[in-house]
Structure 1
């Protein structure tokens, strides 16, 4: 499965490279040709030159346990054929138990282009390549992309002296193939590689970088010894017993490309110091909590989401199902498992979509689905139908829509209720989810998917406990006439949810979106009333209602306007508050002005509660004024690439986030549940 997720991310990253994106590159690159006049029948060397900013790094062709190497998609004229990229020697970097093969310093990746002899001298040779790569620090990763172009002309292949000198330096950093095969042998969990290497040749902290995947464990320590004209590297085996190709580092910036065949490993010899994670060259940075703690945080965060107001209407529907089960163990367990499957698969789908879009260069965060007006429109239509059904406005033979979402003559209804619960619940991130969802942007695909699955299990956990713990199931009320009254009562929170979605539609799209939502509600209600009138005389009325409803939503979605620009947002509640601007923030900090920076969104219930209970309070506003603190509001209601990038750089995938920048020193991060006292304590300390 690991290769499947990695392939998916790489493929979507390549797709994203097709779209130009104005972004701040943390590992900026440029394309240089050795000559502007390549000779027909020869080859031309190109250099992709990268210069990582301080604290950032790029990746080797095999990035290790995490990361993504340079991906290229060429657009070349006839007669020009690109070769395989040639990478310089990387460095091992251990972060949170994951081994990364990285470049922290300026480096060049070389590619040779074959110029066919059929290319006429004097012919224009336009080169275009879409490049996609990953830039990371010890805590975050940001997809990078650029489109490089060069305009050359076929000629005599003349190379300027300065360019020749520069390319010679870059070539000297490229490892050369060893002219003999190395040997490998596996004993238990030990993978040994014997490399022909003269006893008299210098050697400085050797290290073996595997090119072949799933042969050795990248993060395992490596030991080295010299036995005559052999250098033996031992490390931990992983996967099947098979040869591994790779790169042997033999000194600072020097390396040999190695191919291995099965064979005996020399005995004895003298140990030599191998490069390791404790060396200054490769600092070990436990930037992330251990994966079990992250999984626990996601699980607890998902569990706490059940207390959020945005999830309450869905829980009410589940309560109807459990009450109808009447304590039947088999039915309760089937229902709970189906609901859990819907929640977990939805969380995984949202996670895969978010990570894939980010790998493709999109700057989005968690809960991105509620930044899309079309998604809000579809949810609004669904909530109107469910509300009307729960209120008794219409019925379907055999099941009701409100009930059907929870109990559609089996487990399918429970599954779709789980899907709906995940869609509406995930925007309400809580304090236990922040670190886990932020870590999902950095971890390899498999570990990230485990976090999303753990979040889903946390959301479904109460119903799993009711289904599998008899004592909890025993306290459920028995079926009776009260169920009808409870069902009609549940129409109230469902109706309030529909109104909240209509309000969010207005916030996202303005008056046009509000009007479209109101028209959709009126047409849906008219359609449902019409169905109630004709259902007794028309046997196929339910099917016609379903088709008409889907068609109406599909057509209505075409008239939904796009999200408004950020400058269309309303005035902040705090007088003098500034909209988010990374440049303005840097300017204020350079002037020594304290800043309270907070991230919010109209669909984030936690954000709105904190604003009402702690931020937009008179005592807090007076404190800001007395201390000369500037307030900067970062509204993430609609997509905002700058805000998404800032959140990512702080290890977050979504809102809320609260930061206080004092006059001097680093920012203080506040808890995700605020009170006026918490804000005052952060400012005064």
Structure 2
């Protein structure tokens, strides 16, 4: 008997086999018939804590190499693998098998095989077995015997389980397309099929970045997948395994073809290839916090800080205490808001940064707080020992820090978007560290003044001017309260805002009575509670009943934009025209400034009409899971977000601060 491949020659000095990190055996399912096929298995069992590799091992490792030694006329088919698992070590993604696993290989038996005879088969195998810190090559020649008979028989019961672990192949081919940055796949999967934690293992090498996030969307009975590219491979066909969760999956073959855009995001989040290192994200969050000190949405809070900073020159020890207390308040508020957002997302809620301003109850509370601060600044009454503006105690600075962070963070600064977008993808500990860095950036100017005497010396000396300045600062705080009234109407309707105004009248009346009693040297706060009680009771019943779930339409625009949806965006892009998509919210002052400066302009409208640009807007004033999902997919944690789509190209993310000519230049280039 002759073999189709001569025996592998072993290099001098090496043993015939080396399997010190596990075992490997060749098993035969049963007998074969002439002209038929018999299934054999390579049964691997690495020692505990070690793993083997799929045919494409990923960023590191080595797939199994097989050199078959078969009788003349016999042939081995392609190996069939179970669904591999991902293993991320030091940023490298590996495709591995942990524990016992079997690779099945069909063996074709020729017509001239003699029934009643047994044929020896062998395979020389070389594979790699690794732990998390060490890799050891393994090799050996595995031998078996195939009995040929008139009727096929199964003799090894293990094959039933091994066959069940091999993912079935889809009946219909998948399609794929290659863009400059991504491999896009469309896999025919019924919409009713459950997808737990999907992941695509591409068998072709040198094509995708294995460790980058994969983005999955539903398009009816198609599952689309976007995987960042790595390498310059340009295949006409590809194969792979779609893991559905656990050990379940399906095999697919893909050919070049159209891959639809849009769809419902079900897993993953799009992010620029090559997520920045954590230190870069921390610096971005710190810079974003610093920028918040000059953003328009923070201006009312600057009045609180200005008065505190002016008073900080009284005592060096006091200035340091206030600096630390203020910083603690800001950082605690940012971390708390971040923790609540991450917890809600982990529970399945689609929320993003500034989610609190989408809640009418929270906005009403902020409105009452703004009215109280305005009344205090105007001298209508005095707060007790935790006075934000007068006492100079650490509790005052801490309360100011809490308020500053709560009101300031909705305006995502230009350097903050990448950091907060990454926070949605990071584990909880580094994500919360980013929120803390954001708070530190917001508090840093105040903290430096508290600890550097020379900076404090540059501030005006305390005096009567501080009282006048405090009263002047009541004006921006009053304007803030008016803006919150408008936002309450946008969120809950005019009736809801009217009921809130009734409560505000009671609140101001109670503050006025309190201040009069304070100036007379009498006990004041019981009177405050007595006056406010009937108005508070009225609000407790009237506000919920007056709230309208969908009270107002989106704000009008001279661009006549289409309302955003994934389907509407897909239709707009399919038209072959440029698309400008922007996301806004009524509570985002930065958004409104950009709209007045660059979007709501007659010259912008004319440029768009001339170039045939389709305008589309996503209004995130109220919670909208589809918008939240899309923002997350773009690596954005909040608004504003501006995207420009040229026909057939990936979207360009524009800066968060628009200049007057920016959109016109994009339309006319």
Normalised TM-score (structure 1)? 0.60
Establish whether residue 663 from structure 1 lines up as the match of residue 647 from structure 2.
Answer: yes
State the alpha-carbon separation in 2 of the partners of residues 370 and 543 from structure 1: 32
Q: Which has the larger radius of gyration?
A: 2
Does the aligned pair in 2 maintain the 1:662–1:683 contact within 8 Å? Answer: no
The 5 A counterparts of 1:47-446 are: 89-93=84-88, 98=91, 175-176=99-100, 202=125, 204-208=127-131, 222-226=134-138, 283-285=210-212, 287-396=274-383, 404-406=387-389, 408=391, 410-446=393-429
Aligned to 1:84: none
Superposed counterparts of 1:506-517, under 5 Å: 506-517=489-500
Q: C-alpha displacement at 1:302, in angstroms? A: 0.5
SS at match of 1:362: coil
Deviations along 1:355-400, whole A, 9 cap, x unmatched?
A: 111111111110001111111111111111111121112235x65x
What is the distance in 1 between the residues matched to 2:580 and 2:610? 13
1:621 matches 2:544: no
Aligned match of 2:152: none
Quick check: 1:505–1:514 contact (8 Å CA) kept in 2? yes
Offset at residue 437 of structure 1 (A): 0.6
Residue 448 (structure 1) aligned with residue 443 (structure 2): no
Q: Distance in 2 between matches of 1:624 and 1:351?
A: 38
User: Which string of whole-angstrom CA distances, capped at 9 and with x for unpartnered residues, describes residues 125-149 of structure 1?
Assistant: xxxxxxxxxxxxxxxxxxxxxxxxx
1:429–1:281 Cα change, 3 Å: closer
**Could you list the per-position Cα deviations for residues 562-593 of structure 1 after superposition, in whole angstroms to 9, with x for gaps in the alignment?**
87556832442124311112101101212213
SS in 1 for 2:274: coil
Q: Tell me: CA distance 1:658–1:282, structure 2 relative to 1, closer, same or farther (3 Å).
A: closer
Equivalent in the alignment of 2:144:
none
Helix, strand or coil: the match of 1:633?
A: strand
Counterpart residue number, 2:261: none
Greater RCO, CA 8 A, separation 6+: 1
Q: CA RMSD in A?
A: 3.6
Deviations 1:324-344 (A, max 9, x none): 233421111110110100010
Q: 1:667 to 1:564 in 2, by over 3 A?
A: farther
Distance 1:385 1:516 in 2: 17
The answer as to whether partners of 1:92 and 1:282 remain within 8 angstroms in 2 is no
Q: Does 1:477 align with 2:460?
A: yes
Conserved in 1, the CA contact under 8 Å of 2:611 and 2:668?
no
Cα deviations by residue, 1:283-306 (Å, 9 ceiling, x for unpaired): 344531111111111101110101
Q: Quote the offset at 1:534 in angstroms.
A: 4.2
Which residue does the alignment assign to 1:170?
none
Structure-2 change in CA distance of 1:329 and 1:575 (3 Å): same
Structure 1 residues 516, 381: CA separation in 2 closer, same or farther (over 3 Å shift)?
A: same
Structure 1 stretch displaced more, 675-684 or 425-434: 675-684
The unaligned stretches of length 5 or more in structure 1 are 1-86, 104-172, 179-199, 209-215, 230-252, 255-277
Gaps of 5+ in 2: 1-81, 103-122, 142-164, 167-204, 213-272
| Aligned: 1:468 with 2:451 | yes
Q: Aligned with 1:206: secondary structure?
A: strand
Distance 1:676-1:538 versus aligned 2 partners, 3 A rule: closer
Matched residues in 2 for 1:472 and 1:665: separation? 51
Contact 2:342–2:424 (8 Å) recurs in 1:
yes
Query: Helix, strand or coil: the match of 1:599?
Result: strand
**Which residue matches 1:602?**
586
TM-score by length of 2: 0.62
